[in-house]
């Protein structure tokens, strides 16, 4: 109950922030919540199942392009477009999982990276449909759901909060369920879990599909709320960034991805206001955190203050 109250308290605080934040931070926090949903999906695979993927840009882009091309070329409405985007991510993640999980360790990392790069190159190759590097802007008319304009700042913030809340509570439920306990056990000692009679391959497959589907939902909603679909979101940086966010916030903690995403977003934002070499500032801070808080921000909170933090 304490854990549930903590996570519901965060959602309530974000809802309250909707009414008091100035416009600049209001827009930033909406973006952070969508990106934190991507990080939550990544954390499910990396933090709990112990699988280091460098291919989550593929799932994020699958959701974004599934939604965007459905709206742009098929004339779908926002609701149908979002469903198509999430379904596209689920299918792609299942296909990648079926092949990538034949490997492990460094080989798994490289295979997922290659799949992501193949997706990025495919987007560039089929430029007649995807507009390649340039990408495309979604028409205002296609960004309305149940009569609500998703491009309006207030509606956009609440939609981002709805996505983040769903991903947060779903992650909390999954990791505290027997399924999540088995994932942690697989991460710690797969051979022993197999000896106990669990199908470790099936659990890892389910974790990867759930992780990829969550990342696809974030991609579809990001494209819908901010009105742009581009190849940048399929590039390798969108596989590296969720890894950094999770490591900073605390891998294997439910709140860690949000804390890491928020911290890094504002670290770069504030640093860019001080100097053009803002990545140097970010690098120094990240190295310091790695040295003095190796378990991440929430990981240190769990180690020092609350051992039962999920």
Percent of the chain whose pLDDT exceeds 90: 70
Name the one residue in this structure whose structure tokens are 């399924």: 179
Dump pLDDT digits (tens) for 266-277: 988 888 888 888
Phi (first) and psi of residue 234, to 5 degrees: -100, 0
Q: What does the mean pLDDT of the chain come to?
A: 92
Q: What is the mean pLDDT of residues 121-142?
A: 89
pLDDT of residue 219: 96
Dump pLDDT digits (tens) for 255-306: 999 999 999 999 888 888 888 888 888 888 888 888 888 888 888 888 888 7
Dump pLDDT digits (tens) for 86-103: 999 999 999 999 999 999
Structure tokens at 285: 């801070």
Decide if pLDDT at 308 tops 90: no
pTM: predicted TM-score of the whole model, two decimal places: 0.94
Dump pLDDT digits (tens) for 223-260: 999 999 999 999 999 999 999 999 999 988 999 999 99
Q: Check if the beta carbon of residue 60 is closer than 8 Å to that of residue 241.
A: no
pLDDT band at 141 (very low <50, low <70, confident <90, very high): confident
Q: How many CB atoms lie within 10 A of CB 279?
A: 13
pLDDT greater at residue 283 or residue 25: 25
CA distance 13 to 290: 28
């Amino acid at each position: 109950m304490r854990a549930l109250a903590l996570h519901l308290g965060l959602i309530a605080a974000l809802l309250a922030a909707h009414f008091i934040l100035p416009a600049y931070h209001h827009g930033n926090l909406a973006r952070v919540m969508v990106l934190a949903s991507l990080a939550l999906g990544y954390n499910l695979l990396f933090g709990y199942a112990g699988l280091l993927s460098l291919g989550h840009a593929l799932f994020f882009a699958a959701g974004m392009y599934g939604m965007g091309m459905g709206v742009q070329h098929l004339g779908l409405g926002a609701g149908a477009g979002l469903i198509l985007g999430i379904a596209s991510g689920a299918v792609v993640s299942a296909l990648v999982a079926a092949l990538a999980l034949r490997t492990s360790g460094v080989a798994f990392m490289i295979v997922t990276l290659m799949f992501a790069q193949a997706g990025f190159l495919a987007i560039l190759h089929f430029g007649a449909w995807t507009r390649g590097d340039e990408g495309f802007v979604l028409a205002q008319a296609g960004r309305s759901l149940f009569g609500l304009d998703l491009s309006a700042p207030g509606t956009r913030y609440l939609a981002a909060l709805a996505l983040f809340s769903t991903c947060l509570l779903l992650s909390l439920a999954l990791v505290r369920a027997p399924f999540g306990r088995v994932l942690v056990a697989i991460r710690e000692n797969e051979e022993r879990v197999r000896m106990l009679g669990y199908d470790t391959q099936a659990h890892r497959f389910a974790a990867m599909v759930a992780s990829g589907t969550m990342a696809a939902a974030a991609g579809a909603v990001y494209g819908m709320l901010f009105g742009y679909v581009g190849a940048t979101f399929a590039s390798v940086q969108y596989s590296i960034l969720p890894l950094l966010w999770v490591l900073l916030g605390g891998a294997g903690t439910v709140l860690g991805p949000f804390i890491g995403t928020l911290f890094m977003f504002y670290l770069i934002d504030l640093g860019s206001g001080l100097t053009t070499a803002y990545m140097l500032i970010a690098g120094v801070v990240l190295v310091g955190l790695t040295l003095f808080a190796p378990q991440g921000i929430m990981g240190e909170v769990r180690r020092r203050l609350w051992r039962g933090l999920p």
